[in-house]
């Protein structure tokens, strides 16, 4: 990646920051991978006999777990038996030199291991601790096991996804990703605060709270007397036209009209029916949404005379936002990603893998994107470094 004049490439921003992560599954590892990409040293503690169980979710990435390689690159894997006195003592020595400790064990497990945040910070006042939980440290759900889809259900998200006949799980781990991003930003904030105060912070993030924040729009849409949002498949629940529309070649094009100015442009320049914009059924978004089925018929009648490529060209020419529905394979070959050189290779126990650069671009600097560790790959080196 080239640098502009005056933008000398410095070291990664979190160089010198050490993170000890007693982590598993998705949420906490997703957060700490972001830190590793920024140059932090992330020491991942794994259990004997199999390690992080996300290693075994599937074998789709050259025989490795697709989940694991996605969220664990750039880390050091250390296998410790925390019920063994010597291994527990080694963890204490790691924490004495760490800047951040992250854990997402089951409810109460960290406290039983003597890793409660109050005790850790009493011994290590500069340490930033972060507990990642399913539903929080108190309340009636505090001891309830929490996995991504189950949290989505409790937060009401699954009631909004799918078609009118049945709810559906979104295609990615939304609750885990939401929680992981709040862990990541919370740690960055705590590191910044420590620069001013010299003291660490005690953080906690629950997956339920993270996803609850993301449920803000449906909550406010219904909380003050509005009707519940209906499941609407691939269509928007409150904006019209916004969704997929069939074309003459059998393909579908997604389009979105966000305001009345765009609606007029769609009628005049794409549908070639300028009078339609003044039809009382479609006078504003509320009316269009109430008559969405009729509007869909009108749009698809027009699109039937064109291929999907032709429809996209018409929409682009009129300044109407649109998209083609791509498969994952088509996404992987997306011309935008190729043109912007977004793909990089990184090592793994199964050989080189291809992944995307992190979304935040910093002029003159590129993310570290280190290797995916084998189970216990760094145990011997850590024991030697920390005197075990």
C-alpha to C-alpha distance for 31 and 28, rounded to whole angstroms = 5
Within 10 angstroms of residue 224's Cβ, the number of other Cβ atoms is: 7
Collapse the DSSP code of 273 into the 3-class scheme (helix H, G, I; strand E, B; otherwise coil) and give the result: coil
DSSP 329: H
Place of tokens 């064990």: 105
C-alpha to C-alpha distance for 175 and 301, rounded to whole angstroms = 39
Q: Which residues contact 45 (CB under 8 A, 6 or more apart)?
A: 20, 21, 22, 23, 78, 80, 82, 91
The answer to whether 242 touches 256, Cβ cutoff 8 Å, is yes
C-alpha to C-alpha distance for 132 and 171, rounded to whole angstroms = 23
C-alpha to C-alpha distance for 354 and 200, rounded to whole angstroms = 36
Collapse the DSSP code of 180 into the 3-class scheme (helix H, G, I; strand E, B; otherwise coil) and give the result: helix
| 236 tagged catalytic | yes
Catalytic residue among 56, 124, 217, 236: 236
Closest CA to 218 of 206, 230, 210: 230
Closest CA to 157 of 181, 131, 175: 175
Catalytic residues: 236
């Amino acid at each position: 990646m080239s640098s502009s004049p005056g933008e000398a490439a410095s070291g990664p921003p979190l160089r010198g920051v050490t993170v000890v992560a007693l982590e598993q599954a998705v949420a906490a590892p997703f957060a700490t991978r972001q830190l590793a990409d920024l140059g932090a040293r992330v020491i991942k503690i794994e259990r004997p006999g199999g390690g992080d169980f996300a290693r075994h979710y599937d074998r789709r990435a050259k025989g490795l777990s697709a989940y694991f390689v996605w969220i664990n690159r750039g880390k050091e894997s250390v296998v410790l038996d925390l019920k063994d006195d010597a291994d527990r003592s080694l963890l204490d020595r790691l924490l004495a030199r760490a800047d951040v400790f992250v854990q997402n064990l089951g409810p109460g497990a960290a406290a039983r291991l003597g890793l409660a945040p109050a005790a850790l910070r009493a011994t290590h006042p500069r340490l930033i601790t972060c507990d990642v939980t399913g539903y929080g440290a108190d309340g009636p759900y505090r001891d309830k096991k929490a996995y991504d889809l189950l949290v989505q259900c409790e937060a009401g998200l699954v009631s909004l996804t799918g078609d009118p006949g049945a709810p559906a799980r979104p295609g990615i781990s939304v609750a885990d990703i939401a929680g992981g991003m709040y862990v990541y930003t919370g740690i960055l904030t705590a590191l910044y605060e420590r620069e001013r105060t010299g003291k660490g912070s005690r953080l906690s993030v629950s997956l339920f709270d993270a996803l609850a924040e993301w449920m803000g729009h449906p909550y406010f849409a219904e909380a003050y007397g509005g009707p519940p949002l209906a499941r609407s498949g691939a269509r928007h629940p409150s904006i019209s036209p916004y969704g997929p529309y069939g074309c003459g070649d059998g393909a579908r094009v997604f389009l979105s009209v966000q305001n009345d100015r765009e609606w007029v442009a769609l009628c005049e320049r794409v549908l070639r029916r300028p009078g339609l914009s003044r039809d009382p059924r479609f006078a504003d978004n509320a009316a269009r949404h109430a008559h969405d089925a009729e509007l869909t018929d009108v749009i698809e009648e027009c699109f039937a005379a064109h291929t999907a490529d032709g429809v996209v060209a018409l929409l682009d020419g009129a300044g109407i936002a649109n998209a083609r529905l791509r498969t994952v394979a088509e996404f992987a070959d997306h011309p935008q990603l190729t043109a912007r050189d977004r793909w990089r290779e990184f090592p793994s126990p199964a050989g080189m893998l291809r992944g995307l650069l992190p979304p935040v671009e910093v002029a003159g600097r590129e993310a570290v994107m280190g290797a995916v560790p084998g189970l216990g790959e760094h145990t011997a080196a850590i024991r030697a470094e920390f005197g075990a």
